[in-house]
Structure 1
Amino acid sequence: MTQAAGFYNPETAEYFDPKETHRVAIVSGGNSGIGWYTVLHLYLHGYAVYVVGRNESRVKKAIKDIEDEARRRTSSYDSFQKKTRHLGSMEYIHFDCCDLESVERCATAFLSKERRLHVLINNAGVMGIPFEITKDGYEIQYQVNLVAPFLFTLNLLPALKAAKSDAVPRVLTLSSVGHNAAYRYFDPSDHINHFPLMLYTWIRYGNAKCAAIQFMKKFAANYPGILAFSIHPGVIGETELYSWWDKLPFLGSIFHTARNVAGYFIGVSSEEGSLATLRAAMDQSLGEDDSGSYLITGGSIIEPSRVALNKDNIDTTWNRNIEMLREKGFTLLL
C-alpha cells in the first residue's frame, strides 16, 4: 500500500513465526471495511486471528479473499522477507452484537480453543441507523457499539490476563469523531428516542461512541498490564455503514453527495483507516503511560471531547453497564 505521511506503517511491527511464537488476536466485524484490512495485516504478521461475526458465509468468504490477497502481497517479498515473514492462520466463530447470549457463547467457544489472547479488537459497529430496541432491551446503536464489546471483553479477561506471561496484551474498541455528538452524559437506560428523529439518530450514535472511549479509559485504569485504546479510524468513503442513509428518498442523494465531497477532501481508504487500529495493536513504542488513549486516523494520539474525559461520566458508564448486565443475568469476569 502507499503510505501516507505521518500514518503508522505496519511493516515496522514485529513479524512472528507461528511455529515458534503463538500470538492470538480476535477481530469482530473483520469481514469487510477496515476490519478486513486489520485481519489481513495481523495474518501477514503471523497471528492466529479469530474473525468473529454474524454471517458465517460472509466471514468465510472474507477469510478466503484475505488469503488470496496475502498470497499476492507475499509474492513480491524479497528473499530476506520470505525467510523472516510468515503467515498466520484465520478461523471463524459466530458472534452477533445484537444478541448478548451469542456474545457470551463466542467468548466461551474461544476460551475452549485458546488459553491466551494477545490482541482483542472490538471493531464491529453500526452508524446512524433508525431507532430500534434489541431483544436484550438496549437501543441498538448503544448495544452494538458499546454493550456487546463491553460484555465480550470482560468475558475474555482470563485469556487476556494469561497472555501477560509472554507479551503485553491489548484491547481496542472502535470509537469515532462522531463521539462529539454526545453533548452531555446519557444514562445507558435512556433510549434517547426523541424528536427530531434525524438529529437524535446521530446523538444516539455519538453517545455510544463516547461511551466506548470511556470504557477503554476505565478498563485501562482497572487492569494495568493490559493496554487499552479507543480508535477513530477516519472518514471512510468505501463503507457499508452509510447504506441506510444512502437509500433514503430525496435525502439519500443529498447525503450521498455530501459524504462524497467530504471523502474527497478528508477521506481515507479502508486500508488507511485500519492503520490507527494496527498501531494500537502492534506498535511496541506504546506503553502503560499511553493506555486509555484515543487514537485517530493514521495512529496519532489526541484528546477526545470533554464529555468523554469527564471522570464522573467514565465511572458512571462503567458502573451502570455492569449493573444493567448483571440485572439481565449475564456473568462478568471482573
Structure 2
Amino acid sequence: MKWSQSSLDIRFLQFDLQDLQSIKAATAEFMQKETRLDILINNAGIMASPFEMTKDGYEIQWQTNFLAHHALTLCLLPIFRQTAQLNPGHRATVRIVNVASDLAFSMGPKNIDYRDPNLTDLTGSPESDSNAIPRKRYSHSKQAGIIGAKAINDHYEHLGIAAYSIHPGIIKTNLQSHDSTLIGAVARVAMNVVPTSSVIDGTRTSLYCATSPKASTQGGLFFIPFGKLDHRPDKWLNDPDAVGRLWDLALAQLVTRSGFQFEL
C-alpha cells in the first residue's frame, strides 16, 4: 500500500494475540494517539495447530482466532463510540468484521462447548490421535467468531456500531503450514489443484462489509464471497440463548479470569 500510494500515513501497532496483556497496552496506546476508528477487521489467525495452552491459560486456537479478537474489539469501544457520535443517527458508522471460515459448519461441534471451550476433553479421548482434532478446535474457534460478531452487533448497533462475520473464500496462503497432520498435507497438495482465490480476492468480502452502503442494514450477519449473505449460521445467530451465552463466556474469561476492564 505504501509503495503504491506514497502519501498514505501507515503506522504499525504491535501486539500478540497469544498475549492478552499486549492487547491492553496496544489499544491504550492507540487511543492516546488517535481520535477515531471507523473500521476494524479481525483477520489474523492460526489453523489446525497442535494442542497448546497460551500463557493466559486458553487453548491456542480459541484465544488467537476468537478470544483475543473479542478482547481487542471491546478494548476499543471508547473510540468506536466516539467515532459513531460524529454521525449521530446514522447506521453502521463504525464497522467491525470478524474473518471466520465455512469450516465452522463442517468440522466443528454442532454448538459452542460452553463448559469446555478449550475442547480439552478431546485430548485423551478415543479420537485424540485423529488428524481431525486440531481442525475441530479451529472450526470451534471460527464458530465463536461468527456468533461473537452477532453479539457485538446486538449490543451496539443502536449506537451506530455494526459487526459482521465472513468466509473469505479458499485463499492460497501459508495458513495450512501450521497443520502437520495427514489432513494438512492433503490440503496443501489440494491447494495446487483446486481453484483458489488470490489474497486480494480474499479481502473483497471483508471490504464489502466494511464499506458498502448496503451492508449498513446487514449487521450481525454472515457473508461469503463476494459480499453474499449466507444463512448457514442462522441457527446460531437467531438463537438469543446461544448469542448471550457466548457473550457471557467471553466476559467471564476476559474480565473475571484475565483482568480486563471494559467500558461496556
- TM-score class, shorter: 0.7 to 0.9
Q: Is 1:241 aligned to 2:183, yes or no?
A: no
Matched-pair contact (CA < 8 Å) for 2:48–2:138: yes
For residues 2-41 of structure 1, the C-alpha deviation after alignment (integer angstroms, 9 at most, x for no partner) is: xxxxxxxxxxxxxxxxxxxxxxxxxxxxxxxxxxxxxxxx
Partner of 1:261: 193
Equivalenced residue count is 247
Q: Is 1:290 aligned to 2:218, yes or no?
A: yes
CA separation of 1:277/1:295 partners in 2, compared to 1, >3 Å: closer, same or farther? same
Gaps of 5+ in 1: 1-65, 72-86
Please report the TM-score for the alignment, with normalisation by the length of structure 2. 0.87
Q: Secondary structure at the match of 2:13?
A: strand
Q: Distance in 1 between matches of 2:140 and 2:115?
A: 9
Gaps of 5+ in 2: 88-92, 123-127
Partner of 2:138: 205
Counterpart mapping for 1:1-334 below 5 A: 66-70=1-5, 87-167=7-87, 168-180=93-105, 181-182=107-108, 183-187=110-114, 189-193=116-120, 194=122, 195-224=128-157, 225-237=160-172, 239-245=173-179, 253-262=185-194, 264=195, 267-287=196-216, 289-305=217-233, 308-309=236-237, 310-328=239-257, 329-334=259-264
Please state how far the C-alpha of 1:205 moved relative to its aligned partner: 0.7
Please state how far the C-alpha of 1:244 moved relative to its aligned partner: 2.5
CA separation of 1:251/1:231 partners in 2, compared to 1, >3 Å: closer, same or farther? closer
Counterpart code for 2:118 = H
Structure number with the bigger relative contact order (C-alpha 8 A, sep ≥ 6) is 2
Question: Which structure shows the bigger proportion of residues in helix conformation?
Answer: 1
CA separation of 1:254/1:323 partners in 2, compared to 1, >3 Å: closer, same or farther? closer
Matched-pair contact (CA < 8 Å) for 1:157–1:333: yes
CA separation of 1:305/1:164 partners in 2, compared to 1, >3 Å: closer, same or farther? closer
Matched-pair contact (CA < 8 Å) for 1:97–1:103: yes
Matched-pair contact (CA < 8 Å) for 1:188–1:321: no
Matched-pair contact (CA < 8 Å) for 2:2–2:8: no
Bigger radius of gyration among the two: 1
Identity %, equivalent residues: 30
Please state how far the C-alpha of 1:251 moved relative to its aligned partner: 6.2
For residues 282-321 of structure 1, the C-alpha deviation after alignment (integer angstroms, 9 at most, x for no partner) is: 112222x311111112111211335533332211111111
Q: Secondary structure at the match of 1:184?
A: coil
Q: Distance in 2 between matches of 1:311 and 1:200?
A: 28
Q: Secondary structure at the match of 1:89?
A: coil
Q: Distance in 1 between matches of 2:3 and 2:36?
A: 28
CA separation of 1:253/1:140 partners in 2, compared to 1, >3 Å: closer, same or farther? closer
Counterpart code for 2:171 = I
Counterpart code for 1:203 = K
RMSD, aligned α-carbons: 1.9
Matched-pair contact (CA < 8 Å) for 1:97–1:143: yes
